[in-house]
Amino acid sequence: MSEALLRIEKLEVVYQRVITAVQGISMEVPQGAIVALLGTNGAGKSTTLRAVSGFIGLDDARVTEGEIRYRGERIENRAPHRITSLGIALVPERSKVFENLTVAENLEAVVPRAGNRPRLEPVYELFPALARLRRREAGLLSGGERQMLAIGSALACAPELLLVDELSQGLAPLVIEDLMQRLRSIRAAGTTVLLVEQNAQVALEVADYGYVMESGRIVLDGTAERLRDHPDIREFYLGTASGERRSYREVKQYRRSRRWYG
């Protein structure tokens, strides 16, 4: 892989000055790659993404130790609009769209600087459905269409690094598969992607490299192929062990200790 576009070193994030949500993690996102940050709900994945994008300040949280470097420049605890101006855009897990605005108005609202216009044609080329729906209010869109609009709004800022938080959440399998293919197209067009996902199965199909996060720590990392073949990933995140499919309830019981915990 190429040189790191984003580098996180020994990052610690604390909420309300007392709750440590991210505990000394380090990771890299190479230029031109799709990197997946995997883990269950509450592992600290979204907090990490919001720390990179600057939005943790809205949650009464702060980076208290470590560094976040983008193209070698430290950006931790900067305001979101300053981070966006560097070429980083976030597709959030929550509050993805302005429901009372049309699709076109949502896309046009994302560029804060006077005199600049969002790049809408590439968005409409990537998501033809949005072009057809450009006059429809976002509140009337389906879940998949809202996710397209959220991604399109981020891409309208022409980012070099796209942060995507829980792309698959609440969506049908065919919609998820289509959106993951769009991530490949986004990467092919020159945008680097950091993807936060609970659904390891779909994330590892498109990612080049992955990190597994639990209880605020990185517990495992490797190429997507290595992670797919790792026995603990297969059992606890992909729901398979020894070639047998297991139910989510069985997987959640954690009937043996994961190897990264000894």
Concatenating the DSSP letter of every residue in 70-114 gives ETTEE-TT--HHHHHHHTEEEE-SS--S-TTSBHHHHHHTS--ST
Give per-residue pLDDT as tens, 3-36.
899 999 999 999 999 999 999 999 999 999 999 9
Rounded Cα–Cα distance for residues 191 and 43 (Å): 26
Asked whether the beta carbons of 39 and 16 are under 8 A apart, the reply is no
Q: Amino acid identity of 188?
A: A
Computed over every residue of the chain, the mean pLDDT equals: 88
Rounded Cα–Cα distance for residues 228 and 217 (Å): 20
pLDDT over 80 at 224, yes or no: yes
How many residues would you count in the chain?
262
Rounded Cα–Cα distance for residues 157 and 134 (Å): 18
Rounded Cα–Cα distance for residues 185 and 54 (Å): 26
Rounded Cα–Cα distance for residues 36 and 34 (Å): 7
Q: What is the pLDDT of residue 3?
A: 80
Token output for 31:
């230029």
Give the mean model confidence (pLDDT) for residues 104-132.
Answer: 82
Rounded Cα–Cα distance for residues 87 and 99 (Å): 26
Token output for 106:
């949502």
Give per-residue pLDDT as tens, 62-77.
999 999 999 999 999 9
Rounded Cα–Cα distance for residues 54 and 136 (Å): 31
> Domain spanning 4-224: which CATH class is it, in words?
alpha beta
Give the mean model confidence (pLDDT) for residues 140-149.
Answer: 94
pLDDT over 60 at 249, yes or no: no
- Grade residue 170 by pLDDT with cuts at 50, 70 and 90: confident
* Residue ranges covered by each domain of the chain: 4-224, 230-262
**Three-class DSSP category at 144:** helix
Give the mean model confidence (pLDDT) for residues 170-198.
Answer: 95
- Grade residue 234 by pLDDT with cuts at 50, 70 and 90: confident
pLDDT over 60 at 241, yes or no: no
Residues 6 or more apart whose CB falls under 8 angstroms from that of 231 comprise 241, 259
Give the mean model confidence (pLDDT) for residues 88-108.
Answer: 90
Q: Amino acid identity of 133?
A: L
Radius of gyration of the chain from its Cα atoms, rounded to whole angstroms: 18
Q: Identify the residue whose tokens are 């950006």.
A: 75
Rounded Cα–Cα distance for residues 168 and 125 (Å): 21
Rounded Cα–Cα distance for residues 207 and 93 (Å): 19
Q: Identify the residue whose tokens are 């980076």.
A: 63
